[in-house]
Chains A and B, each alone.
Chain A
Amino acid sequence: MRLLFNYLIFPGFLFSACIGLMAGWIDRKVTARIQWRVGPPWYQNFVDIIKLLGKETIVPETAKLTFLFAPFLGLLSLVLATTILGKAFILPSESFLGDLIVILYLLIIPAIAIIVGAFSSRNPLASIGASREMKLVLAYELPFILSIIVVLIKCQGAIQIGSILNHQINFGPNLASVSGMVAFIVAILCMQAKLGLVPFDASEAEQEIMAGALIEYSGLPLAIFRLSKAVLLYTTPLLLITLFWAKDLSPFSLVGKYITLLVIIILIKNTNPRLRIDQAVKFFWGPVTFLALAAVVLAVFGL
């Protein structure tokens, strides 16, 4: 009963979806202000989801099961990751050994869900989008995991969110060292790609391959995909705060840190043009991986 409550309501689905949709509104509003517009009202993303729930769902003739199953797979596993992370925040002592690895795996599944759904729709543009998404996942996972290894080295090899939090509360945030700072920058860039935001949104390039991977989705499955985007917008910044910036865990400072990260993401999004997929892969496997490796070496030497 308590597990269900945790999964569906408090640190899980309902809470994270509401925060994520509000964060999506902040994104749209700040973007609008940067472009000298007014922007939508605060309830816009909620209205969008309700509207999509009321629309007709069109299913392509082929692969109906995987087409409809993919969005739910993405959302369910993402909410599971969010619940584990949120639980570790509320009761650090109750987290289990290796939950960080579980979260890392669960955070890849939404991308896999998009790939599966896009390929099963049998649309050529969706296939292009899916193959780009696949390359992007391959590109950003390497530096992302390297930057997390930096955290593990700093915390004496604790692969447990509770003990990472405890270590930071006792010895100061991981961000306060040179290697931590470099790894944090790498992680922010990887987060940008994970969220599919502008320099790295080649898989959903609207002007080029229309809606890319999501082109055939309408109605309920599209709403689920948008919800999982929203939940991801809540989970990944929270994960970064947990790993790098968790000295002070009072709600007020958490909200402040979350909004700071969000604004960094939005500013990167609004000041960069879209990268081609080969440029994105080169960027992640070249300079970003080099930075992450440098951070690992620095962390080994205790800087």
Chain B
Amino acid sequence: MNLKLKALTKSLWVFHAACSPCNNCDIEILDVLTPRYDVERFGIVLVGSIRHADVLLVTGVPNYKTKERLKKIYSQAPQPCLVVAVGGCACGRVMFKDSYNSPCAVDEIVPVSAYIPGCPPKPEAIIAGVVKLIKKVRG
């Protein structure tokens, strides 16, 4: 395993893209950053710009508008950029599968590296998902 990937897994900077979610997953993501779970211990911080990000965190079911924007955001990210789908909606669209304004799932727009299911996923589940992501990157 090379130094580049090792450094990447030790300092994941996260950009949070909310693709029309109901905001429950977003609240749980904020919980992960608060004192109780504190993922800055592992070097994970939220950044404001996609150009600084290593991880693109997607919540919600993309609709016709956010679909284009998600594609654009992913193409603006510097490689290597990992995508994590948080919540049942982002993983598989659950009950919005046949909805008139839901053209496709997140993984049909961008390549998803890790799925974290749950409605919303607990902070523990999100941390477990990140651990799986890191293990996958390290190979």
Contacts and interface: CB of A to CB of B under 8 A. Distances in A.
B111 interface: no
Nearest to A126: B49
Contacts of A217: 51-52
Interface residues of A, number: 30
Interface stretch (B7-15, B56-64, B113-121, B124-132): B7-15
A63 to B, nearest CB: 16
Closest 7 CB pairs of A and B: A54-B4, A210-B48, A56-B78, A51-B7, A218-B51, A50-B7, A218-B78
B7 A54 contact: yes
Contacts of B8: 51, 54
Given A58-B51, A218-B51, 14 more contacts: A28-B40, A32-B38, A32-B40, A37-B40, A38-B38, A47-B43, A48-B11, A50-B3, A54-B7, A55-B79, A56-B80, A215-B48, A216-B51, A219-B78
B138 to A, nearest CB: 14
A55 B41 CA distance: 22
A35 B80 contact: no
Contact of B40 (A40, A47, A56): A40
B26 interface: no
A48 B11 CA distance: 6
A217 B10 CA distance: 21
Contacts of B7: 47, 50-51, 54
A114 to B, nearest CB: 14
27 contacts: A35-B35, A37-B38, A37-B40, A38-B38, A39-B38, A39-B40, A44-B10, A44-B11, A47-B11, A47-B43, A50-B7, A51-B4, A51-B8, A51-B54, A54-B7, A55-B79, A55-B80, A57-B78, A215-B48, A215-B51, A216-B49, A216-B51, A217-B52, A218-B51, A218-B52, A222-B51, A222-B52
In this complex, the member of A28, A40, A206, A217 whose beta carbon has the largest number of chain B beta carbons within 10 angstroms is A40
A214 B43 contact: no
A195 to B, nearest CB: 19
A36 interface: yes
Chain A contact residues, majority secondary structure = loop
B134 interface: no
B115 to A, nearest CB: 24
B47 interface: yes
A206 B48 contact: yes
A211 interface: yes
A28 to B, nearest CB: 7
A48 B43 contact: yes
A214 B47 CA distance: 11
The residue among A50, A55, A206, A210 with the most chain B CB atoms within 10 A of its own CB is A55
Given A47-B11, A50-B3, A54-B8, A210 B38 contact: no
A28 B80 CA distance: 26
Given A206-B48, A215-B51, A55 B78 contact: yes
A62 interface: no
Contact of B11 (A51, A206, A215, A218): A51
Q: In this complex, which of B8, B10, B54 has the most chain A Cβ atoms within 10 angstroms of its Cβ?
A: B10
Contacts of A57: 78
A70 to B, nearest CB: 15
Contacts of A48: 11, 43
A207 interface: yes
A219 B4 CA distance: 12
Contacts of B79: 55-56
B94 to A, nearest CB: 31
Interface string A206-245: 1100110011111100100000000000000000000000
A37 B10 contact: no
Contact of B49 (A44, A54, A56, A210): A210
Interface string A55-71: 11110000000000000
Contact of A211 (B38, B41, B47, B76): B47
